[in-house]
Structure 1
Amino acid sequence: MDGSDRPLHAAEFRESMKMSWSVRFRLRQHAKASLWIVPLIGLALGAVFAEWTAGIDGADLLPGDWRYSATTASSVLSSVVGAMVALLGFVVTIGVLVIQQATGTLSPRYMRLWYRDRLQKAVLATFTGTFAYAFSLLRKIEPNSVPNLGVTLSGVAVSLSLLLLLIYLNRFTHNLRPVAIADIVGRLGQKVMFHGTEHIRRTRAPAGAYPPSAAPVTHVRTGRGGVLQAFDVAGLIRSAARHDCVFTLCHHIGDFVPPGATLVEVHGTKQSPDPRHTAGHIALGTERTIEQDPAFALRILVDIAIRALSPAVNDPTTAVQALNHIDTFLHAIGRAQLCNQYVLADAHGRPRLVIPGRNWDDYLQLGVTEIREYGATSLQVCRRLRALLEDLLHTQPTDRLSAVHAELILLDEAVQRNFTDPIRRAQAQTPDRQGIGSGRRSGT
């Protein structure tokens, strides 16, 4: 039973006539990641603003010594056009360097976050807007008519462009370091985590609520494969309430869903909702996003650490710095209420949506497993990893300590295998928050 031939509910029909939530989500993602939409808007605004300033230039708004001859105005505007083209090329060059850095020593997954940098888009929009403004004014210059106000404002626009370029360059040189990127990614992941947990806390069903196992089940399948990027919690709850059923999502955020697989199980309804409408509340794409997936931020942090540990880079200090931010991230996750399954309710408290969740063990394994495997021969990494795990022993609830103890046992086994000398083994088993340089003493 898939419900594909049944008539649409009236409210569902009205919503089906609108653009689906998943399409809107993908369009928003495309707009956020695009490097040409905002500059294109700047280009159009520059041309429009040029027409406006040329139209009011006869109002004698400028002092007499701020008037230009036709030759001078043409030279100034031509110089502005050339300068903006050169600056655009410079920013593109910086972008190429970022791509090389990210794919070589950081994580290719970070590129999805770098595309969204608002300052970068503002710089490009200012450059393209100034270019269009100056170029549009060039055709307004005549032997007996010069857009004096426009020429003056083009100089102001150039000054603003240079100021933004300096700010962008300062930010670029500071934020391209692995530790700075790890800090940005870690804070963004924590923000997503606590935003999501707060929303779940507000809509969570009473304890003991679950999908009725004896009720009929309808499977909503996907027609194409893709990574589960996000889902519309409010829309799914409204749809489930309208049809008096319970939706159960079958995959975690970030999972790849193969073509034809079940996206949603619909429990307890005689007339199932339209599968296309239900699937329209779930966004599938080519790669993971961070909007509803804090584990993706942790994935990037781990990528930075293990790339630093590769023989081609051999930079354990960077791995230790990444572990600092993983440590912070895990402590932040430790303050969240994690469950293997979340049951969300409608406005009347009835369970309507069941979504799978990641528990503490999942986050802990993601944060330390690969770093332990690839960094087991590094004294720095072993010491910093032990300090991280021992800190968690003192801060996490009792029900989470077994997973931490299991990771400590695995770390001990890795040290035993790779450090055969008793002295170096003892050094590797000493917790140290700096990797090397601040080993703990007994009683600390």
Structure 2
Amino acid sequence: MSLAGAFRARQFVRQSLWVVPLLGGVAGVALSGVDLWVEGLINLPPSWSYSAATANSVLSAAAAAMVGLIGFVVTIGVLVVQMATGTLSPRFMRLWYRDRLQKFVLAAFTATFTFAFALLRHVEADSVPDLGVSLVGLAVSIDLVLLLLYFDRFVHALRPVAVAAAMAEAGLAIEAEAGLAIEAEAGLAIEAEEDGLVASAGNDDQGAGLGEPDARILAPRSGAIQDVDIADLVRFAAARGQVCVIPHTIGDFVTAGSVLMEVHGAASETDLRRLRGMVSLGHERTIDQDPAFALRIMVDIAIRALSPAVNDPTTATQVLNHIDDLLLGIGSSDRAFRGTALDADGQVRLVVRTRSWSEYLDIGVTEIRQYGAASPQICRRLRAMLEDLRDGVPLARRAVVQSQLDALDRATDAAFADPVERALARMSDRQGLGATRSGETSDARG
């Protein structure tokens, strides 16, 4: 299986809701066989003995209860779809499918059902699987605890602010994990400790100077770039003296037959097939190597809250707290893959288009400013966020932040004709309304 095929298989397992429960069902049948084998080897105390009628009742009730609980979890899943469509972002559903607790709960319920149902076949008047009946009772008790944990998770984790916090945490983790090297202040490549790979500064020229490629790899089908196996691709290219250029950002949608990768250096048909297999395409973006997708989900939630049909600027302000966190983490990070990967000898082997700081800012700020320009709460929280970013990012990136502040000033002036309201909206406030910074008082309105 190619690397792209392995990635797609891994994505399928992570996002499907039936693979893990199916394995749980198989495990339940297998454990019933183990239980029957153990029953013949041990003698249980009399208090653990059951009559055939009692065993039948317990096992039948447990199996029926598990079917009901599985249906309850499925019902919650339907509610999640409705909630995500109405108040969150449809793109969040892809992440909800990955929830490990949800899959573990379904697997536990399915395992208990198949375990109880398999034991039912072996209940006879003179032979009762006493140990199995006791284990079914224990399993049902554990399943009820898991159900309570799952319900608690469902209630708390699907609030917009909780989703935003999870997205910010995921985006920061991706940004940290994506660092194949440390970017030096002087812009020189420094060897990283992992895989003998290094990464240099951002590649705005996108492989300029390499000349015409010796081969072009075309996209076999349309889809979004979900994953690039950077480490293996660099090792593969280094072994053959090649330089690979991917003229797309992770998350870009490419059409079938368009250029997916350019290869500089001699490459056989086998090489091209191997290289093609190191870039995975799918129907939609994933968050695995794309922190901008986490940012996109948060912005979607914020602008949905700002729509006239919802009119909930407080929710958008809370989401801005976590957008602030993610943007500050991205903007101040010196450890990240910036698009040019070198092998252990310092030779460029891979060039991938990466997002610039201004692009991240545009994603996180522009639409919220446009849709929330008439809300003093949004204007004030946006100003506080941009001032945080201006103070927290390196000097080279502050001019871009200042341009966003200037755009916010223009939007605020255009939205508020009254001088008092304009002065109110121009304040910096981490809470939107009610917590102006030191030195900014209500006197500023006049």
TM-score by length of 2: 0.91
* Whole-Å separation in 1 of the counterparts to 2:36 and 2:25: 17
The 5 A counterparts of 1:67-86 are 67-86=49-68
Structure 2 partner of 1:279: 276
Structure 2 partner of 1:15: none
* Whole-Å separation in 2 of the counterparts to 1:379 and 1:192: 33
* Whole-Å separation in 2 of the counterparts to 1:129 and 1:160: 12
Structure 2 partner of 1:204: 198
1:54 matched to 2:36? The reply is: yes
* Cα distance, 1:414 vs structure 2: 1.0
Task: Give SS of 2:227's match.
Answer: strand
Q: Conserved in 2, the CA contact under 8 Å of 1:243 and 1:271?
A: no
Letter in 1 for 2:51: S
1:301 matched to 2:298? The reply is: yes
1:290 matched to 2:272? The reply is: no
The 5 A counterparts of 1:359-398 are 359-398=356-395
Report the number of matched residues.
426
Q: Deviations over 1:127-186 (max 9, x none)?
A: 000000000000101111111111000000001100111111111111111111111111
- Where structure 2 has 5 or more consecutive residues not aligned to the other structure, the ranges are 184-191, 442-446
Q: Conserved in 2, the CA contact under 8 Å of 1:67 and 1:148?
A: yes
Closer, same or farther: CA 223–58 of 1 in aligned 2, 3 Å: closer
* Cα distance, 1:198 vs structure 2: 4.0
* Cα distance, 1:412 vs structure 2: 1.0
The 5 A counterparts of 1:6-85 are 19-85=1-67
Task: Give SS of 1:352's match.
Answer: strand
Q: Deviations over 1:306-346 (max 9, x none)?
A: 11111121111110000000001111012223899622112
Closer, same or farther: CA 217–208 of 1 in aligned 2, 3 Å: farther
Letter in 1 for 2:413: Q
Q: Conserved in 1, the CA contact under 8 Å of 2:182 and 2:199?
A: no
* Whole-Å separation in 2 of the counterparts to 1:111 and 1:279: 29
Letter in 2 for 1:204: V
Letter in 2 for 1:421: D
* Whole-Å separation in 2 of the counterparts to 1:120 and 1:207: 41
Query: Which of 320, 327, 332 matches 1:330?
Result: 327
Query: Which of 218, 222, 245 matches 1:221?
Result: 218
* Whole-Å separation in 2 of the counterparts to 1:370 and 1:125: 41
Query: Which of 415, 420, 423 matches 2:420?
Result: 423
Once the two structures are aligned, what percentage of the paired residues are identical?
Answer: 52
Structure 2 partner of 1:146: 128
Structure 2 partner of 1:116: 98
Task: Give SS of 2:178's match.
Answer: helix
Letter in 2 for 1:84: M
Structure 2 partner of 1:242: 239
TM-score by length of 1: 0.92
1:129 matched to 2:126? The reply is: no
- Say which is worse superposed, 202-211 or 331-340, in terms of deviation: 202-211
1:232 matched to 2:229? The reply is: yes
Task: Give SS of 1:197's match.
Answer: coil
Structure 1 partner of 2:76: 94
1:163 matched to 2:114? The reply is: no
- Where structure 1 has 5 or more consecutive residues not aligned to the other structure, the ranges are 1-18
Q: Deviations over 1:36-79 (max 9, x none)?
A: 01100110010111121122223444321221110111001010
Q: Deviations over 1:111-140 (max 9, x none)?
A: 111111111111000000000000000010
* Cα distance, 1:223 vs structure 2: 2.4
Q: Conserved in 2, the CA contact under 8 Å of 1:215 and 1:268?
A: no
Task: Give SS of 1:71's match.
Answer: helix
Closer, same or farther: CA 355–200 of 1 in aligned 2, 3 Å: farther
* Whole-Å separation in 1 of the counterparts to 2:96 and 2:224: 20
Q: Conserved in 2, the CA contact under 8 Å of 1:338 and 1:359?
A: no
